[in-house]
Amino acid sequence: MGCHRGELLPRTTQDQTLFGPAVMRIHPIFTSIKDWNSDGKPDGIEALIEFQDRFADPTKASGKVVFELFDYRTNMPDPRGGRVSEPWVGRIITLDEQQARWNRTSRTYAFQLAYADINPERTYVLTATFELSGGGRFFDQTILQGKKTVREKSEPASVFPVVPNSGPSQSGASEVGPTGATTPTSAPTTDVMIPANSPTTEPRNPPQESERVAPATNPTYQPTGRSAQP
Protein backbone atom coordinates (compact mmCIF):
# COMPACT_ATOMS: atom_id res chain seq x y z
CA MET A 1 0.00 0.00 0.00
CA GLY A 2 1.33 3.38 -0.94
CA CYS A 3 1.12 6.61 0.96
CA HIS A 4 -2.10 8.50 0.60
CA ARG A 5 -2.20 12.25 1.07
CA GLY A 6 -5.49 13.14 2.67
CA GLU A 7 -7.24 16.45 2.88
CA LEU A 8 -5.17 19.23 4.41
CA LEU A 9 -6.47 20.23 7.81
CA PRO A 10 -6.22 23.84 8.99
CA ARG A 11 -3.90 24.52 11.91
CA THR A 12 -5.73 25.28 15.14
CA THR A 13 -4.94 28.29 17.30
CA GLN A 14 -3.24 26.05 19.84
CA ASP A 15 -1.13 24.39 17.13
CA GLN A 16 -0.10 27.79 15.84
CA THR A 17 0.87 28.89 19.35
CA LEU A 18 2.95 25.77 20.01
CA PHE A 19 4.47 25.06 16.60
CA GLY A 20 4.29 28.38 14.78
CA PRO A 21 7.34 30.68 14.47
CA ALA A 22 8.36 32.25 17.77
CA VAL A 23 11.92 33.38 16.93
CA MET A 24 13.70 34.39 13.72
CA ARG A 25 17.42 34.77 13.12
CA ILE A 26 19.79 35.39 10.21
CA HIS A 27 21.90 32.24 10.13
CA PRO A 28 25.34 33.38 11.34
CA ILE A 29 27.34 30.62 9.64
CA PHE A 30 25.80 30.14 6.20
CA THR A 31 25.03 33.83 5.52
CA SER A 32 28.00 35.30 3.63
CA ILE A 33 29.26 37.22 0.59
CA LYS A 34 29.10 35.04 -2.52
CA ASP A 35 30.38 34.79 -6.09
CA TRP A 36 27.49 33.18 -7.98
CA ASN A 37 28.86 33.19 -11.55
CA SER A 38 32.40 32.01 -10.65
CA ASP A 39 34.16 34.99 -12.23
CA GLY A 40 36.30 35.70 -9.18
CA LYS A 41 34.27 38.76 -8.12
CA PRO A 42 31.58 38.80 -5.41
CA ASP A 43 28.04 39.34 -6.69
CA GLY A 44 26.25 39.98 -3.40
CA ILE A 45 25.12 38.27 -0.21
CA GLU A 46 23.44 34.91 0.27
CA ALA A 47 21.22 35.42 3.32
CA LEU A 48 19.62 32.48 5.11
CA ILE A 49 16.91 33.08 7.70
CA GLU A 50 15.78 30.51 10.24
CA PHE A 51 12.56 30.31 12.25
CA GLN A 52 12.14 28.36 15.49
CA ASP A 53 9.02 27.42 17.44
CA ARG A 54 8.57 27.55 21.21
CA PHE A 55 10.52 24.30 21.55
CA ALA A 56 13.54 25.84 19.75
CA ASP A 57 12.96 23.50 16.80
CA PRO A 58 13.18 24.76 13.18
CA THR A 59 9.81 25.60 11.66
CA LYS A 60 8.36 27.43 8.66
CA ALA A 61 6.71 30.81 8.30
CA SER A 62 4.78 32.83 5.75
CA GLY A 63 5.24 36.51 5.04
CA LYS A 64 7.50 39.21 3.62
CA VAL A 65 11.11 40.03 4.57
CA VAL A 66 13.10 43.23 4.07
CA PHE A 67 16.91 43.09 4.12
CA GLU A 68 19.10 46.16 4.69
CA LEU A 69 22.91 46.50 4.58
CA PHE A 70 24.88 48.98 6.69
CA ASP A 71 28.49 49.94 7.34
CA TYR A 72 29.93 48.55 10.56
CA ARG A 73 30.79 50.83 13.49
CA THR A 74 33.36 49.49 15.94
CA ASN A 75 32.72 49.58 19.71
CA MET A 76 29.25 51.08 19.41
CA PRO A 77 26.05 49.87 21.16
CA ASP A 78 24.36 49.91 17.75
CA PRO A 79 26.96 48.72 15.20
CA ARG A 80 24.96 50.01 12.22
CA GLY A 81 26.53 52.92 10.39
CA GLY A 82 25.27 54.45 7.16
CA ARG A 83 23.15 52.34 4.85
CA VAL A 84 25.17 51.32 1.79
CA SER A 85 22.43 49.97 -0.48
CA GLU A 86 18.73 50.11 -1.15
CA PRO A 87 16.73 47.42 0.71
CA TRP A 88 15.88 44.03 -0.75
CA VAL A 89 12.32 42.71 -0.42
CA GLY A 90 11.56 38.97 -0.53
CA ARG A 91 8.35 36.95 -0.19
CA ILE A 92 7.61 33.45 1.05
CA ILE A 93 3.82 33.44 0.82
CA THR A 94 2.75 31.21 -2.05
CA LEU A 95 3.46 27.49 -2.40
CA ASP A 96 5.93 28.13 -5.23
CA GLU A 97 7.80 30.76 -3.19
CA GLN A 98 8.02 28.42 -0.23
CA GLN A 99 9.41 25.59 -2.34
CA ALA A 100 11.89 27.87 -4.12
CA ARG A 101 13.33 29.32 -0.90
CA TRP A 102 13.21 26.38 1.53
CA ASN A 103 16.35 24.32 2.13
CA ARG A 104 15.66 20.88 3.60
CA THR A 105 19.25 20.40 4.79
CA SER A 106 19.76 23.63 6.75
CA ARG A 107 16.02 24.08 7.50
CA THR A 108 16.25 27.72 6.44
CA TYR A 109 14.98 30.07 3.72
CA ALA A 110 17.64 31.30 1.27
CA PHE A 111 17.73 34.70 -0.46
CA GLN A 112 20.32 36.01 -2.92
CA LEU A 113 20.83 39.75 -2.40
CA ALA A 114 22.47 41.12 -5.55
CA TYR A 115 24.97 43.95 -4.88
CA ALA A 116 27.81 44.33 -7.39
CA ASP A 117 29.65 47.01 -5.36
CA ILE A 118 30.08 44.89 -2.24
CA ASN A 119 33.64 44.84 -0.88
CA PRO A 120 34.66 41.53 0.75
CA GLU A 121 37.40 43.31 2.72
CA ARG A 122 34.90 45.57 4.50
CA THR A 123 32.77 44.60 7.49
CA TYR A 124 29.01 45.08 7.17
CA VAL A 125 25.88 44.77 9.28
CA LEU A 126 22.99 42.91 7.62
CA THR A 127 19.49 43.28 9.08
CA ALA A 128 16.25 41.43 8.33
CA THR A 129 12.72 42.53 9.23
CA PHE A 130 10.07 39.87 8.69
CA GLU A 131 6.33 40.59 8.69
CA LEU A 132 4.18 37.50 9.24
CA SER A 133 1.18 36.98 6.98
CA GLY A 134 -1.07 36.56 10.02
CA GLY A 135 0.34 39.55 11.89
CA GLY A 136 3.45 40.04 13.97
CA ARG A 137 6.99 41.06 13.13
CA PHE A 138 10.51 39.70 13.71
CA PHE A 139 13.85 41.48 13.52
CA ASP A 140 17.45 40.26 13.55
CA GLN A 141 20.88 41.45 12.48
CA THR A 142 24.28 39.89 11.93
CA ILE A 143 27.81 41.16 11.30
CA LEU A 144 29.52 40.10 8.07
CA GLN A 145 33.21 40.17 8.89
CA GLY A 146 35.55 41.35 6.15
CA LYS A 147 38.63 39.42 5.09
CA LYS A 148 41.96 40.30 6.70
CA THR A 149 45.32 40.27 4.95
CA VAL A 150 48.14 38.57 6.87
CA ARG A 151 51.70 38.92 5.63
CA GLU A 152 53.72 35.75 6.10
CA LYS A 153 57.32 36.49 7.09
CA SER A 154 60.26 34.22 6.19
CA GLU A 155 63.30 33.66 8.34
CA PRO A 156 66.64 34.90 6.86
CA ALA A 157 68.82 32.27 5.25
CA SER A 158 71.71 30.88 7.29
CA VAL A 159 75.19 32.35 6.75
CA PHE A 160 77.76 29.86 5.55
CA PRO A 161 81.46 30.96 5.70
CA VAL A 162 83.64 30.33 2.68
CA VAL A 163 86.36 27.76 3.35
CA PRO A 164 89.82 29.06 2.34
CA ASN A 165 91.49 27.34 -0.60
CA SER A 166 94.33 25.23 0.84
CA GLY A 167 95.76 24.14 -2.48
CA PRO A 168 98.05 26.06 -4.81
CA SER A 169 96.46 28.82 -6.75
CA GLN A 170 95.78 28.32 -10.40
CA SER A 171 96.98 30.67 -13.07
CA GLY A 172 94.59 33.55 -13.47
CA ALA A 173 92.57 32.56 -10.36
CA SER A 174 92.50 34.44 -7.06
CA GLU A 175 92.47 32.90 -3.61
CA VAL A 176 89.71 33.55 -1.11
CA GLY A 177 91.02 34.84 2.21
CA PRO A 178 90.08 33.24 5.54
CA THR A 179 87.80 36.09 6.42
CA GLY A 180 85.65 35.82 3.28
CA ALA A 181 81.96 35.09 3.92
CA THR A 182 78.70 35.27 2.08
CA THR A 183 76.14 37.95 2.90
CA PRO A 184 72.82 36.87 4.41
CA THR A 185 69.78 36.80 2.16
CA SER A 186 66.07 36.52 2.86
CA ALA A 187 63.32 34.87 0.87
CA PRO A 188 60.56 37.10 -0.56
CA THR A 189 57.38 37.43 1.47
CA THR A 190 53.98 36.22 0.28
CA ASP A 191 50.58 37.77 0.98
CA VAL A 192 48.16 35.21 2.36
CA MET A 193 44.49 36.11 2.32
CA ILE A 194 42.78 34.56 5.34
CA PRO A 195 39.00 34.92 5.76
CA ALA A 196 38.14 36.22 9.21
CA ASN A 197 34.92 34.23 9.49
CA SER A 198 34.07 32.07 6.49
CA PRO A 199 31.54 29.23 6.40
CA THR A 200 32.93 25.77 5.76
CA THR A 201 29.73 24.12 4.63
CA GLU A 202 27.54 25.01 1.72
CA PRO A 203 23.89 24.44 2.67
CA ARG A 204 22.74 23.85 -0.90
CA ASN A 205 23.35 24.73 -4.49
CA PRO A 206 22.85 28.48 -5.11
CA PRO A 207 19.38 29.43 -6.40
CA GLN A 208 18.92 30.10 -10.06
CA GLU A 209 19.16 33.53 -11.61
CA SER A 210 15.37 33.93 -11.44
CA GLU A 211 15.41 33.44 -7.66
CA ARG A 212 17.70 36.38 -6.85
CA VAL A 213 16.17 39.20 -4.87
CA ALA A 214 16.51 42.59 -6.55
CA PRO A 215 16.93 45.74 -4.42
CA ALA A 216 13.75 47.70 -3.81
CA THR A 217 13.64 51.47 -4.15
CA ASN A 218 11.27 52.35 -1.30
CA PRO A 219 11.86 50.61 2.05
CA THR A 220 8.68 50.32 4.03
CA TYR A 221 9.77 48.55 7.17
CA GLN A 222 11.84 49.76 10.09
CA PRO A 223 13.75 47.44 12.51
CA THR A 224 11.90 46.61 15.73
CA GLY A 225 12.45 44.08 18.52
CA ARG A 226 13.48 40.48 17.94
CA SER A 227 10.37 38.77 19.28
CA ALA A 228 7.04 38.56 17.51
CA GLN A 229 4.38 41.10 18.40
CA PRO A 230 0.80 39.93 18.79
**pLDDT, tens only, 6-40:** 677 777 887 788 888 999 999 999 999 999 989 88
Compute the mean pLDDT over every residue in the chain, rounded to the nearest whole number: 76
**pLDDT confidence tier of residue 201, bands split at 50, 70 and 90:** very low
Complete domains list, the chain, with CATH: 13-150+190-211 (2.60.40.10)
Strand, coil or helix: 205: coil
Nearest to 180 by CA among 166, 161, 167: 161
% of the chain surpassing 70 pLDDT: 62
Q: How much is the pLDDT for 19? A: 87
**Per-residue pLDDT reduced to its tens digit, 26-82:** 999 999 999 998 988 999 999 999 999 999 999 999 999 999 999 999 999 999 999
Phi–psi pair at 105, nearest 5 degrees: -75, -50
**pLDDT confidence tier of residue 157, bands split at 50, 70 and 90:** low
Nearest to 93 by CA among 131, 130, 133, 53: 133
